[in-house]
Amino acid sequence: MGSHVSDRRSGRVIAIDGPAASGKSSVARELARWLGLTYVNSGGFYRAITWYLLRRDIPPDENELISAALEEAALTCIVRDSESRILVDGMDPANHLRDDRVNETVSRVSRLAQVRQIVSQKLHDCADAHNVVIEGRDIGSVVFPDTPYKFYIHASPEVRLKRRAAQGERDEIAMRDHDDVSRAVSPLVIALDAYVIDTSNVTIEQVVNEILTHLQVKGLPGGDVHITNSRAR
């Protein structure tokens, strides 16, 4: 996507980007819990679309068929228990988002411009209605470039492979990394003003504490957003 939707409420968006299995999902979810914000996993949107296309037996390289299918599909973002969920034609595919076929196909679907544009619009819709912590691969660099609260989470390939194996998932980390950084549309990059954290040898709690400290330094507005002085344990 060459352009982005206007950042109408980017001051209330905390963007956390990083590669697969870097720990960004766990960190973003815990951070959102401590700040009382809504947790949004942008990868879930891409996985839901991938699940929908696979369910309709549409290959990821059939652009015209994909465009037609997505024009017909009703994609709805809802919030349940302070976390975003995406419904496709009223169905919740949450139990299928980590299926092997979805894991194997999602990177090819997520590189498509029309898919990224749809997801970007849904993320902005969600941010219009809620104060959010959004994790993904282009949240700070493309989707919400004007938010002052950007973080990039990464870890060594070895650690990330162990994390995936511990989750009982088959995921080709090297292939995902190549696809993420080489795609023509919204490749994975570190935003120039992002705060970078290596999670290889630290706990989730330590990362969340580091982010909380940085947010305080950056002056995250108060009001309905409150940073607790307590430490996550």
Given this model, what pLDDT does residue 4 score? 44
44 near 97, Cβ under 8 Å? yes
Low-confidence ranges of the chain (pLDDT < 50): 1-11, 222-233
Q: What's the pLDDT tens digit per position in 62-79?
A: 999 999 999 999 999 999
Question: Which domains does the chain carry?
Answer: 10-218 (3.40.50.300)
Alpha-carbon torsion (38, 97, 181, 76), positive or negative? negative
Q: What's the pLDDT tens digit per position in 90-134?
A: 999 999 999 999 988 998 999 999 999 999 999 999 999 999 999
pTM for the full model?
0.86
Given this model, what pLDDT does residue 178 score? 79
49 near 109, Cβ under 8 Å? yes
